[in-house]
Chain A
């Protein structure tokens, strides 16, 4: 880990920095996936279930 890469920056420093970058990257990828693939499906399912419970409960929920 102490092996220098560029000047004073060593492997450990780069690993720490990579941890920050990967955290940002994963967060962005998750949000993008949720926005494009999941939000629409969740909304549809919500309409669906509420529609069904309305038929059963007579307009309750």
Chain B
């Protein structure tokens, strides 16, 4: 890697950081400091703006760097990730977007608390939100570290530490100064930058093959070393039953997890009505779908042009496939266009990480201030301003994410994101669906549903091969794993639903029918919605 292209990368990244900081400064100049302003940006975004922001919030480093890398290494099985990421949005559109918009104010715990005893429910939902956000944050931090290690041509070292710290400080600045309005605009800018960058690379790949997709696939299969098996399922998730179960588990987590991600659900509060929430989900599905279709082309393009050996040689998890593809498309190492393209890809990836991280920090600080602090503070004390608490929480979350990101920097980004999705699907989705659609759901059921999904999910992750007992685990030296699958979804999601049902039927207090009727009318019509 030459000095020239490092300078250029640095320049492009500085431009993005400068633009986003300018947005933050401009937004915080006119802010009023109300919670409505800080958490949801005044609820005045248009569906199109929100759709772009959702795409910017959702398409993370795992999608842009991880998925093409997986396709290079395991062929068709890498495409399955993308399908899961998109199909999850149908769950959000059909079951959640409009109802959540009407029922809640700032966090997804509001939806549950609307018809339950407030304190225990907020405590449970706040805890699970913070857990999911932290897992997801760590994944993004690790992605940032990997990217910098690639650009500077060495692994580990001070540069990685400084980047992770820098990203952490930036996100705390955006969130605590600009709140949701700054976060949203940063995500919109990032979505445009990401889509433009991906489109440019896709067009270059297709031009290289004269628009002949057939030849692209054949070349990819020929260079993969697997032949025709590269284009069919089974390279990674074939063979024994453990691998097949692991695939089912991952698929379940991806499809159901999207609807349980606190930072995605919070985005629906930034539009004025349920109809606008639906239209922003439609925009998001269109943008995300097109983006993922392009990442598939990039993956097969990298397999055909760069080849799996070169990709594996640079990063064993495949995270560097897209930068290597850009280098090749620009004319190979040493060429000016190649250096320019790599710099563009690196800047796009860093923008991606920064925007996702800002959304996560905002939603975890909202969970701390609006749910945990509200549930735990002593009633006789004069309440401090919730926004002030949220700003302090953003700093604390940033510090925790930096520390964990440095600790976990050897882990695979896509695996970490899969774990965050699994915890979201087990702890957040059951309680949301029950409280929206089940008349006799009770407070005890809600609390049990959250902990009954959260505890098994986290426990099974700790006991899985991701943490111990395999060469690329978090603690490779020790072995206390007794759960064979990498992703806990297939066990912990049903447990979450089961615990919610069990808590409800054993509950001594009868369900509050009147409040359910009230929230049902509110969720369907928007009468009395915030």
Contacts and interface: CB of A to CB of B under 8 A. Distances in A.
B19 to A, nearest CB: 32
A31 B278 contact: yes
Interface in B335-388: none
Contacts of B274: 42
Nearest to B94: A30
A45 B524 contact: yes
B282 interface: yes
Interface residues on A, range: 20 to 34
A49 B527 contact: yes
Residue among A23, A30, A49, A50 with the highest chain B CB neighbour number at 10 A: A23
Contacts of B93: 27, 30-31
Contacts of B285: 23-24, 27
Contact of A2 (B80, B86, B231, B527): B231
Nearest to A24: B289
Given A20-B86, A46-B527, A2 B232 contact: yes
Interface string B495-530: 000000000000000000000000001001111100
A45 B525 contact: yes
Nearest to B275: A39
Interface string A28-61: 1011001000010011011001100000000001
Contacts of A50: 527
Interface stretch (B129-137, B182-190, B214-222, B437-445): B214-222
B76 interface: yes
B79 interface: yes
SS of A interface (majority): helix
Nearest to A16: B79
Contacts of A31: 93, 278-279, 282
B4 interface: no
Contacts of A26: 90
A12 B289 CA distance: 18
A42 to B, nearest CB: 5
B52 interface: no
B244 to A, nearest CB: 13
B281 to A, nearest CB: 8
A12 to B, nearest CB: 5
A43 B281 CA distance: 20
Given A2-B228, A61-B528, A7 B94 contact: no
Interface residues of B, number: 39
Contact of B217 (A1, A9, A23): A9
Contacts of A30: 93-94
Interface in A9-26: 9-10, 12-13, 16, 19-20, 23-24, 26
A8 B76 CA distance: 13
A54 B86 CA distance: 44
B232 A23 contact: no
Contacts of B79: 16
B229 A8 contact: no
Residue among B79, B83, B527 with the highest chain A CB neighbour number at 10 A: B527
Contact of B231 (A12, A34, A49): A12
Nearest to B296: A16
A41 to B, nearest CB: 9
A29 B302 CA distance: 35
Nearest to B76: A12
Residue among B221, B279, B525 with the highest chain A CB neighbour number at 10 A: B525
A19 B87 contact: yes
Residue among A8, A19, A20, A23 with the highest chain B CB neighbour number at 10 A: A8
Interface string B20-55: 000000000000000000000000000000000000
B275 A23 contact: no
A16 B278 contact: no
Contacts of A10: 228, 231-232
Nearest to B75: A12
B87 A12 contact: no
Contact of A34 (B218, B278, B286): B278
Contact of A23 (B86, B98, B213): B86
B274 to A, nearest CB: 8
B521 A45 contact: yes
B233 interface: yes
A61 B522 CA distance: 12
A27 B90 contact: yes
B407 interface: no
A50 B232 CA distance: 57
12 contacts: A1-B234, A2-B229, A7-B214, A8-B231, A12-B231, A19-B86, A20-B292, A23-B90, A23-B289, A27-B89, A31-B278, A34-B98
Interface of A: 1-2, 4, 6-10, 12-13, 16, 19-20, 23-24, 26-28, 30-31, 34, 39, 42-43, 45-46, 49-50, 61
Counting from the closest, the 7 A-B pairs by CB-CB distance are A2-B232, A46-B525, A8-B217, A7-B214, A46-B527, A8-B218, A42-B525
Given A20-B86, A45-B525, A50-B527, 6 more contacts: A13-B231, A16-B76, A27-B90, A31-B279, A49-B525, A61-B528
